[in-house]
Amino acid sequence: MSELHKSKRQLIELNEQKDLELSEKTTTIRSYLDKIVHLTENAAHKEARVSEVEAELGRCRAACTRLEQEKEIIERQNAWLNEELTAKINSFLEMRRKHTESETDISSKLADVSIMLYYYNYNRVIIYFEF
């Protein structure tokens, strides 16, 4: 019987040792599961953040495209306005040149008429005094 008690005690000790190992392994497995859950949550948060950033990037690209189109439109408008302004300036300068020439011509004719009037009046006075 003593051997039976001894064998029983060994089996109980072996069982306790196996229970202890099983408990340690269970704790280790729970720790691993906690890490897996934590890493999975982190990965999900990072994936959500990547999706947000990609959506923002898409919005930024669309805004950039819109701004480039607006820039092209403004550049075309500026080019047209510059052409119009250049044409108006050239027209103004040509008109100014013609008016200056006309004014010079009229001033010259006025001077001629003034001289002629002077001589006419002078000759009239002379003729008047001669009679």
Instruction: Identify whether 41 is part of a domain.
Output: yes
* Domain that residue 82 falls in: 1-93
Residue-wise pLDDT tens digits, 76-127: 999 999 999 999 999 999 999 999 999 999 999 999 999 988 888 777 666 6
Distance CA 107, CA 94 (A): 20
Residue-wise pLDDT tens digits, 1-28: 688 778 888 889 999 999 999 999 999 9
Instruction: Identify whether 114 is part of a domain.
Output: no
Instruction: Identify whether 84 is part of a domain.
Output: yes
Number of domains composing the chain:
1
Model-level pTM? 0.53
Inform me whether the pLDDT recorded for 131 exceeds 60. no
Instruction: Identify whether 112 is part of a domain.
Output: no
Instruction: Identify whether 51 is part of a domain.
Output: yes
Instruction: Identify whether 125 is part of a domain.
Output: no
Residue that the structure tokens 């550049």 belong to: 75
Give the confidence band of 42 by pLDDT, cuts at 50, 70, 90: very high
Distances in Å between the Cα of 19 and the Cα atoms of 23, 30, 53, 99 are 6, 16, 50, 117
